[in-house]
């Protein structure tokens, strides 16, 4: 009877706690809906990219200005970017929410087999390459607002017949200060500007030149990056924009150390007359000239530190096969290995490797009226940033590979229930309450009553008494 009572008590308590949890979840969902439906001032987003900023630089070096920004805002420790982990594909993914195979910018160097056109950083202004997707600045302008850009890739291209309203053509000689001053003036002078973007080439350049393991040189480059973040904050404060607009600081990819001892020479496996090389390292794009199977089989056995894929067999998780600009054979070097046709190492640091590698991941930090204060998220996908920005800007998302549900907890209006924590608390509370209740029942049944045993004795001694129950 005691165990049955405990079981019944546990069941009742579980039902009560489950009801409380369900009600809490419903209440939070209702609050979120109300928060989204409340009228609010129009938001502005400033998206800033520091090329090649590896996520774990945040633990290895000091960033007083950046730390101040995310300590008052939010930090995502690891941003899982898209394959291939190169500059152009990832910058376009950040502003479209699409994988490279979907937005069409599949590499920094491309060849289109239908039109025979070629794309590179020196030849990137043909809208043909960009029109497979709609970046967020075009959507902002289609919504009746304006956009401004300081050298963000693609903003000077007439994508779907529109450049960014205001833009600066890429020129590496233009200082960070000049870029910030120009962009800030556009934001301050034209209140219709709702989306702004800013690109800076460091610490990518230093990472390539010295390698990320060169702590002396990387410390110099990263101090300059943090100084530039401080300059950005100060300029926004002087213009009255700091705290009024939403500033997002992120990057496109990380960086890994390379070595002369880790070379994969294609000429040792296959004569160059058998193929055309579109892209070289650490992901090589191959067009076979003498039969796909023969070229593939030779490259497949070329080196244990390099994987060869036929286009149809590329790993599904890489999202890198459904586009004509992806070539018939793709070679992928292991982390830190370099593919060359012949010759020696040219870069001490590189990127482009498998996007599951932590060394390829950037970070994300944000501050502004839309973001929570002092919140930290361990990981999200770079394609999740696009729906987040669309939500902040209150514009309609285009079809994308991201999910607002993965990034919504960064926002101050989204009262998030951390389900693992809540479930743990509920289970813990259930166990404690059940234990205490069962102990109470056991103790109650063990304590003798002063009246009941005496009454039973009287009944047993009196043979003439009728039974209590027939």
**250 labelled catalytic:** no
Quick one: pLDDT at residue 42?
Answer: 75
Quick one: pLDDT at residue 91?
Answer: 99
- Of the candidates 422, 362, 321, the one whose C-alpha atom is nearest the C-alpha of residue 81 is 362
Domain 41-255+354-410 matching CATH 1.10.3450.40: the answer reads no
Q: Which residues contact 212 (CB under 8 A, 6 or more apart)?
A: 54, 57, 218, 254, 255, 256, 257, 349, 359
Dist CA 296 CA 263 (whole Å): 19
Dist CA 312 CA 299 (whole Å): 16
Q: Summarize pLDDT for 224-269 with one digit per residue, the tens.
A: 999 999 999 999 999 999 999 999 999 999 999 999 999 999 999 9
Dist CA 336 CA 411 (whole Å): 37
* pLDDT category of residue 465 using cuts at 50, 70 and 90: very low
Please give the average per-residue pLDDT across 408-425, as a whole number. Answer: 76
Quick one: pLDDT at residue 7?
Answer: 52
Please report, rounded to a whole number, the percentage of residues in the chain having pLDDT higher than 70: 81
70: pLDDT strictly greater than 70: yes
Please give the average per-residue pLDDT across 193-218, as a whole number. Answer: 99
Domain extent listing, the chain:
41-255+354-410, 263-346
Dist CA 168 CA 186 (whole Å): 11
Q: Which residues contact 419 (CB under 8 A, 6 or more apart)?
A: none
Query: Options 3.40.50.2000, 3.30.1360.180, 3.30.70.1150, 3.20.20.210; which CATH number does 263-346 get?
Result: 3.30.1360.180
Please give the average per-residue pLDDT across 118-126, as a whole number. Answer: 96
Which two structure tokens, joined as six digits, stand for 280? 């070289």
Question: 331 and 283 in contact (C-beta within 8 Å)?
Answer: yes
**Tokens 């361990």 sit on residue:** 378
Please give the average per-residue pLDDT across 27-42, as a whole number. Answer: 45
Tell whether the torsion through CA atoms of 386, 387, 391 and 394 is positive or negative. Answer: positive
Element spanning 344, H or E: none
Quick one: pLDDT at residue 456?
Answer: 38
Quick one: pLDDT at residue 415?
Answer: 84
Higher local confidence (pLDDT), 200 or 459: 200
Dist CA 66 CA 54 (whole Å): 14
Higher local confidence (pLDDT), 68 or 457: 68
Quick one: pLDDT at residue 50?
Answer: 99
Quick one: pLDDT at residue 436?
Answer: 73
33: pLDDT strictly greater than 70: no
Higher local confidence (pLDDT), 174 or 467: 174
Higher local confidence (pLDDT), 423 or 135: 135
Quick one: pLDDT at residue 444?
Answer: 67
* pLDDT category of residue 440 using cuts at 50, 70 and 90: low
Mean pLDDT score of the chain: 88
Whole-number Cα distances in Å, 133 to 79, 136, 276, 285, 392: 22, 10, 28, 22, 20
* Cis preceding linkage at 84, omega within 30: yes
The phi, psi pair for 263, rounded to 5°, reads -110, 145
Q: What is the pTM of this model?
A: 0.84
- Of the candidates 332, 267, 207, 247, the one whose C-alpha atom is nearest the C-alpha of residue 48 is 247
Please give the average per-residue pLDDT across 403-424, as a whole number. Answer: 81
Q: Summarize pLDDT for 350-385 with one digit per residue, the tens.
A: 999 999 999 999 999 999 999 999 999 999 999 999
**Which candidate in 44, 80, 85, 87 is catalytic?**
87
Higher local confidence (pLDDT), 466 or 117: 117
Specify the range with the lowest mean pLDDT, choosing from 107-121, 396-410, 446-460. 446-460
Quick one: pLDDT at residue 469?
Answer: 35
Specify the range with the lowest mean pLDDT, choosing from 88-97, 340-349, 362-371, 417-426. 417-426
């Amino acid at each position: 009877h005691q165990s049955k009572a405990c079981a019944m008590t546990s069941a009742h308590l579980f039902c009560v706690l489950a009801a409380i949890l369900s009600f809490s979840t419903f209440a939070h969902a209702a609050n979120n809906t109300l928060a989204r439906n409340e009228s609010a001032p129009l938001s502005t987003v400033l998206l800033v990219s520091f090329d090649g900023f590896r996520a774990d630089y945040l633990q290895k070096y000091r960033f007083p200005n950046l730390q101040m920004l995310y300590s008052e805002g939010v930090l995502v420790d690891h941003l899982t970017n898209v394959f291939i982990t190169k500059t152009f594909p990832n910058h376009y993914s950040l502003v479209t929410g699409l994988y490279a195979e979907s937005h069409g910018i599949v590499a920094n160097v491309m060849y289109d087999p239908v039109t025979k056109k070629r794309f590179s950083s020196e030849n990137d202004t043909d809208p043909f390459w960009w029109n497979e997707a709609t970046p967020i600045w075009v959507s902002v302008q289609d919504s009746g607002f304006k956009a401004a850009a300081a050298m963000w890739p693609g903003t000077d291209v007439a994508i779907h017949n529109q450049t960014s309203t205001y833009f600066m053509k890429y020129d590496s000689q233009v200082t960070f200060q000049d870029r910030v001053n120009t962009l800030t003036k556009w934001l301050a002078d034209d209140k219709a500007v709702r989306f702004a973007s800013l690109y800076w080439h460091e610490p990518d350049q230093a990472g390539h030149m010295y390698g990320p393991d060169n702590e002396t040189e990387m410390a110099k480059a990263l101090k300059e990056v943090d100084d530039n973040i401080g300059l950005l904050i100060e300029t926004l404060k002087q213009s009255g924009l700091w705290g009024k607009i939403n500033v997002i600081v992120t990057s496109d990819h990380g960086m890994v150390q390379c070595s002369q001892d880790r070379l994969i020479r294609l000429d040792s496996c296959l004569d160059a007359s058998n193929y055309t090389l579109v892209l070289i390292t650490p992901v090589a794009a191959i067009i076979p000239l003498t039969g796909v199977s023969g070229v593939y089989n030779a490259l497949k056995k070329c080196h244990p530190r390099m994987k060869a894929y036929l286009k149809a067999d590329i790993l599904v998780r890489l999202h890198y096969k459904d586009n004509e600009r992806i070539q018939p054979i793709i070679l992928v070097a292991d982390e830190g290995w370099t593919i060359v046709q012949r010759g020696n190492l040219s870069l001490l640091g590189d990127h482009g490797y498998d996007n599951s590698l932590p060394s390829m991941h950037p970070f994300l930090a944000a501050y502004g009226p839309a973001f929570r204060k002092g919140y930290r998220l361990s990981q999200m996908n770079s394609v999740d940033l696009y729906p987040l920005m669309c939500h902040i800007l209150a514009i309609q998302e285009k079809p994308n590979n991201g999910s607002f549900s993965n990034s919504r907890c960064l926002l101050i209006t989204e009262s998030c229930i951390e389900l693992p924590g809540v479930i743990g608390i509920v289970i813990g509370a259930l166990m404690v309450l059940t234990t205490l209740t069962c102990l109470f029942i056991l103790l109650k049944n063990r304590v003798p009553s002063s009246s009941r045993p005496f009454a039973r004795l009287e009944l047993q001694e009196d043979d003439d008494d009728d039974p209590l129950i027939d």
